[in-house]
Amino acid sequence: MHCVLLFTIPKALNLFRSTGIVMVTESLTSNYFIFKTRSPDLFPTFREDSKIHRLKTWVYGYDDYITAYCSDVLYTNQLKKTVAKHYDKVNEFSELESTQNQYPETECLKNIQYSQQYMSGENPISITSLVGQSYCSEAQIASLAYRKKVKVIGDFKYFAPLESSAKYYITADRPLEINNVLLGGNFILQTPDERGVSTIGWYHGYLHVFEKSIASDNWRLNTKIGKEQDNGYQIVSSLIGNSQFWELKKHWEILPYGKKNKNQIEGSINNFGNELKHTFRTLVKPILDTEVCSLPLIPAVGIFGSSPNTDW
């Protein structure tokens, strides 16, 4: 039996007019996809002859927020595509962060191109110069870098893809202010532990997990740029690590893709039904609508771009 799991994006984080849905597949912590609903019904109902079963009766107290679809006939990818037909996939969301200031961003890139004609390839124009001379904003620089229009080098390059075939270069001689590059300038579900703080934010069209040590204001990515669909494990880990979801965390032990545990929900194990019942029937405390709605947006404060190994 193969399955996919769907859960709603907390409303405080949801930037869509309709409800946002996250789908995770296979180990339920490997690949993830973001969708928007088309109707008030969050999760579709399939006819019996579709060979797809919604396991809603086993998800006590979570039916409005989390559900699973399984099939004995369809493979995981077929199941994902069938369920996804009932939603609008969010695959152009990154454009919302750049097209609002498309003209200034184009001018920023022109300035970078112009500077490269007169500066050594080993010493491209710096972020300090671009921002200080009002050629670019930090948000425009991050957007161009994320979309591989420019390649970033230097000590503070880690806000950008490390692999890029862009023709134009800039030097990250200083970090960026985190609130300047996150959509809305906010985090959500900030979760402290003994090592530091983990939180989630929208960064150029994708959910990303950011971390920092307690004594530092230096945020680092705990998710991949360029392979965003592989970030499901980190995202789900950060979500259920928050106090709002402790009941879920106690009974849902998630593992990185490829590792197994007898209580882990695996989309391809033969005894999926028993595993699912064992895992979800112990969820005695529901996530109340008021709890989900009241999750506050947290102003993002700090710097971003240092090496992931800094301060740990």
pLDDT digits (tens, 9 = 90+) for 83-102: 999 998 876 555 444 444 55
3-state SS of 174-202 is CCEEHHHHCHHHEEEEEEECCCEEEEEEE
CA dist list (Å): 45 to 105, 214, 268:
44, 45, 22
- The domain total for the chain is 2
3 state SS of 170: strand
Which pair of structure tokens corresponds to residue 31? 């690949």
Q: Which pTM value belongs to this model?
A: 0.76
- Give the Cα separation of 198 and 238 in Å (integer): 7
CA nearest neighbour of 215 among 299, 297, 302, 156: 302
- Give the Cα separation of 131 and 137 in Å (integer): 6
| Strands 2-8 vs 87-89: parallel, antiparallel or unpaired | unpaired
- Give the Cα separation of 23 and 70 in Å (integer): 13
Which of 176, 196, 226 is where one domain is finished?
176
**Cβ pair 78, 15 in contact under 8 A:** no
- Give the Cα separation of 77 and 199 in Å (integer): 30
Is the residue at 301 inside a domain? no
- Euclidean distance between the first and the last CA atom of the chain, given in angstroms as a whole number: 41
Is the residue at 47 inside a domain? yes
pLDDT at 109: 94
Min mean pLDDT across 158-162, 172-176, 279-283, 291-295 is at 279-283
Same domain, 65 and 20: yes
Q: Convert the pLDDT of each residue in 110-119 to its tens digit.
A: 999 999 887 7
Task: List, in sequence order, every residue forming a beta bridge with 191; answer none if it has no partner.
Answer: 198
Average confidence (pLDDT) over 140-165:
94
- Give the Cα separation of 228 and 193 in Å (integer): 25
Average confidence (pLDDT) over 7-20:
70
**Cβ pair 200, 184 in contact under 8 A:** no
- Give the Cα separation of 268 and 265 in Å (integer): 9
Same domain, 10 and 83: yes
Same domain, 20 and 86: yes
Same domain, 66 and 32: yes
Same domain, 78 and 35: yes
Same domain, 117 and 80: no
Same domain, 86 and 100: no
Same domain, 6 and 82: yes
Q: Convert the pLDDT of each residue in 245-255 to its tens digit.
A: 665 555 454 44
- The band of 42, judged by pLDDT with boundaries at 50, 70 and 90, is confident
Domain range holding 151?
95-176
Is the residue at 251 inside a domain? yes
Burial group, residue 270, by CB count within 10 angstroms (0-12, 13-18, 19+):
exposed
Answer whether residue 267 shows pLDDT above 80. no
Q: Convert the pLDDT of each residue in 187-229 to its tens digit.
A: 877 888 788 899 988 888 788 999 999 889 999 999 988 888 7
Is the residue at 72 inside a domain? yes
Same domain, 65 and 103: no
